[in-house]
């Protein structure tokens, strides 16, 4: 079964990882950032070795986001980020092919062990089965 595993973050979190802390997210040091990247690389390497990794990416900060919606006149309305009305946005994801929901949950639990500075916000890891169109979800 294929699963989408998602991690969330805010613009403030991305700024904190650049050393600019705020009320909602403590400043990260270069060592903190490197520890996070090393952890994620090891996780990705392990998932590739088991054959479960299909894809995984970290996403650019919300400030580089663009929303395209439909206006009342039926024409596209384009808005560049960041969006003050939005709290958490997708920060990164994995597409995994796992034998069971229990296995992908184990992986999500491992994601939660990613090192970060004390006081940094912790977000849930979201698991969504990918509908194969066969009705097996």
Percent of the chain exceeding pLDDT 70 equals: 93
Query: Is residue 135 domain-resident?
Result: no
Query: Is residue 107 domain-resident?
Result: yes
> Residue 36 sits in a domain of what CATH number?
3.30.70.1060
Cα–Cα distance for residue pair 84/64, rounded to 1 Å: 13
- Among 1-5, 32-36, 91-95, 128-132, whose mean pLDDT is lowest? 128-132
Query: Is residue 136 domain-resident?
Result: no
Instruction: Look up tokens 């650049």; give the residue.
Output: 18
Q: pLDDT at position 134, please?
A: 65
Q: Mean pLDDT in the chain?
A: 92
Q: Are 81 and 67 in contact (CB under 8 A)?
A: yes
> Which residues does 76 contact at the CB level (< 8 Å), separation at least 6?
68, 69, 70
Q: pLDDT at position 67, please?
A: 84
Query: Is residue 81 domain-resident?
Result: yes
Query: Is residue 137 domain-resident?
Result: no
Sign, CA dihedral 9-12-15-17, equals: negative
Query: Is residue 72 domain-resident?
Result: yes
Task: Say how many domains are in the chain.
Answer: 1
Q: Are 67 and 79 in contact (CB under 8 A)?
A: yes
State whether residue 134 is helix, strand or coil.
Answer: coil
Q: Tens digit of pLDDT for each residue in 2-16? A: 999 999 999 999 999
Q: Tens digit of pLDDT for each residue in 60-101? A: 998 898 889 999 999 999 988 765 556 778 999 999 999 999
Instruction: Look up tokens 């969504």; give the residue.
Output: 128
**Enclosing domain of residue 24:** 2-129
Which tokens in the block code for residue 32? 């903190």
Query: Is residue 50 domain-resident?
Result: yes
């Amino acid at each position: 079964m294929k699963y989408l595993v998602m991690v969330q973050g805010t613009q403030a979190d991305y700024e904190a990882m650049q050393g600019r802390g705020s009320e909602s997210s403590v400043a990260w040091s270069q060592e903190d950032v490197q520890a996070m990247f090393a952890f994620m690389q090891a996780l990705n390497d392990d998932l590739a070795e088991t054959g479960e990794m299909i894809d995984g990416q970290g996403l650019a900060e919300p400030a580089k986001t663009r929303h395209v919606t439909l206006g009342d006149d039926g024409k596209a309305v384009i808005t560049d980020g960041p969006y003050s009305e939005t709290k958490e946005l997708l920060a990164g994801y994995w597409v995994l092919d796992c034998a069971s929901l229990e296995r992908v949950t184990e992986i999500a639990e491992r994601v939660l062990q990613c090192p970060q500075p004390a006081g940094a916000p912790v977000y849930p890891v979201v698991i969504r089965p990918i509908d194969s169109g066969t009705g097996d979800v």
